[in-house]
Copies of this chain bind each other. A is one copy, B any other.
Amino acid sequence: MQLKKETSLKNQIKDNLTKYRNFPMVPRVIYGPGSFGQLGEILMPHRKSSDAPIIFLVDDVFEGRELAERVPLMFDDQLIFISADEEPKTEQVDVLVQKLLSDHNDLPSGIVGIGGGTLLDLAKAVAIMLTNNGPASDYQGWDLVKKPALYHVGIPTISGTGAEVSRTTVLLGPHKKLGINSDYTPFDQVVLDPDLTLGVPADQWFYTGMDCYIHCVESLNGTFLNAFSQSYGEKALDLCKEVFLEDLPEDESREKLMMASWHGGMSIAYSQVGVAHAMSYGLSYVLGTKHGIGNCLVFQHLDEFYPEGVKLFRQMQHKHNIHLPEGICASLSDEQMDTMVNVALGLEPLWQNALGPEWRQIMTPSRLKALYEKI
């Protein structure tokens, strides 16, 4: 008996030492060129009644284009075109939620986001905020959402953000750029149709693809990494190298980048992004710089943190003839620069992952400011 008690105590201690996240995966995914055509059938069992519509949030670049016609509207469904010219905002989420509540007597049956990271993040946030009270900014952070979101579906039309599979929805709030990171955030359904990424402009394709490449480099070089995240991150990185450094046929390239984005998003499960994302969040907050190009602007100057990664990035940039703007931070006021530095340094988990628990001694405000000044 004594032995048993001791063993049991030992086990309890062992069990309490480490605590892992029980990671929520997207429970349904359909993959294939043309799979968007099955959306109507997929949504049907989730329609609660003819008064509970499905709301489609669609990137406004598709206004008047074929994709918009193919959206399977029924009953009181609403298709709302939204511009992705700016990063998604908590206020924008609040306005959308109020509009939907006043437009319909019943709660919607579901929210479908069709577009890039902006539209996917808006769809996730709206689905959460339709069942949780208060402003969206109250939920920016880790595990603050208490009630399950409405059924929500993500359909990427550009590859790289990983928003289709991630546990977060990154929003610009009144005080910070930060995700609503919760078990209720991931989509209930994702449709991966590589044909939808046809016609993405070359620069957007590059910047968004680099979002994937950069967060893989950050994840694989981070201190949080484990074998689960490593395996996804390595595969995503391999696929990025194929897509951006080899000469694949176009359709194969689109299919592979869509999978790179998927695996890249999964690699964050037990990991985190790092220096580039933290700094890019600061840029977005103060200058409204879009996430994809923001990452590139920052990452090119991070040789000292990610030497191999930055070297390959430059090769990719050269191969695809991408010229990044310069002097972005040249005309910032001291106050703006301070805000940028503070927003970036506020993202503790990212710095911990990148530089370890003693990160504050490594990344001082003045060192960060000097990095920003290069951009």
Interface set of A (CB-CB < 8 Å, partner B): 4, 7-8, 11, 14-35, 37-38, 42, 66, 69-70, 189, 192, 194, 226-228, 231-232, 234-235, 238-239, 252, 255-256, 258-259, 262-263, 269-270
Closest to A15 in B: B37
Enumerate 21 A-B pairs (CB-CB under 8 Å) in ascending A order: A4-B69, A7-B66, A11-B37, A11-B69, A14-B34, A18-B32, A18-B33, A18-B34, A18-B37, A21-B30, A24-B27, A24-B28, A25-B26, A31-B270, A227-B252, A227-B258, A231-B239, A231-B263, A234-B235, A234-B238, A235-B263
Return chain B residues, CB-CB under 8 Å to A66.
Answer: 7, 11
The answer on a CB contact under 8 Å between B42 and A16 is no
Alpha-carbon gap, A192 to B228, bound state (A): 9
Alpha-carbon gap, A27 to B148, bound state (A): 14
Alpha-carbon gap, A28 to B235, bound state (A): 21
Binding site of A, secondary structure by majority: helix, strand, loop or mixed?
Answer: helix
The answer on a CB contact under 8 Å between B259 and A227 is yes
Q: Contact check: which of B14, B22, B35, B42 meets A30 at CB < 8 Å?
A: B22
Q: Interface centre among A7, A27, A31, A262, by most B CB within 10 Å?
A: A31
Closest to A66 in B: B7
Return chain B residues, CB-CB under 8 Å to A226.
Answer: 31-32, 255
Alpha-carbon gap, A31 to B20, bound state (A): 7
Alpha-carbon gap, A38 to B16, bound state (A): 8
The answer on a CB contact under 8 Å between B227 and A194 is yes
The answer on a CB contact under 8 Å between A25 and B27 is yes
Alpha-carbon gap, A38 to B15, bound state (A): 7
Q: Interface centre among A38, A69, A189, by most B CB within 10 Å?
A: A38
The answer on a CB contact under 8 Å between A20 and B32 is yes
Return chain B residues, CB-CB under 8 Å to A7.
Answer: 66, 69
Return chain B residues, CB-CB under 8 Å to A194.
Answer: 227
Nearest-Cβ distance from residue A328 to partner chain B, whole angstroms: 35
The answer on a CB contact under 8 Å between A28 and B22 is yes
Alpha-carbon gap, A297 to B27, bound state (A): 36
Alpha-carbon gap, A21 to B70, bound state (A): 20
Q: Contact check: which of B19, B35, B231 meets A20 at CB < 8 Å?
A: B35
